[in-house]
Amino acid sequence: MITLDDVSSILHLPIVGQFPTYDVLDHNVAKNMLMELLGTSETNANEELRKNTGAQVRLGWLREVYNQCCIDQSWECAARAYLLHLLGCTIFANKSANWISVYYIALFRDLDRCGQWA
């Protein structure tokens, strides 16, 4: 079992601070968040959300978005894609470890303030 001390020691993430709350997102809100915060097209965002039948994205898709952001030199979007992927692989991994809720991208809306989260 992963403990908070493990999170702090291994990932160097803070374990004190503001605790994020989870809200269920509908398709349109999730799509708009992906478009705004990851710089994806509406078509790309819609397609990914439909494949997952919910407000979640595959980690493989996030890697593709990250690579495209790097090619486009869209560094803030690349950072958000990387951080969301990191959360999906570690702290918020599901049983299959291949998707993460779109909600968590909102934590990285303002990259200068994302260190406030526990």
Q: What is the mean pLDDT of each run of 10 residues along the chain (118 residues)?
A: 78 71 83 94 94 88 96 95 88 73 85 73
Burial class (CB in 10 A: 0-12, 13-18, 19+), 73: exposed
| Whole-number pLDDT of residue 117 | 67
| Whole-number pLDDT of residue 81 | 95
| Whole-number pLDDT of residue 105 | 86
Extract the runs of DSSP E, i.e. beta strands, from 64-107: 99-101
| Whole-number pLDDT of residue 82 | 93
Alpha-carbon gap, residue 11 to 45, rounded angstroms: 29
| Whole-number pLDDT of residue 118 | 62
Task: Report the 10 Å Cβ neighbour count for 79.
Answer: 15
Rg (CA), the chain: 14
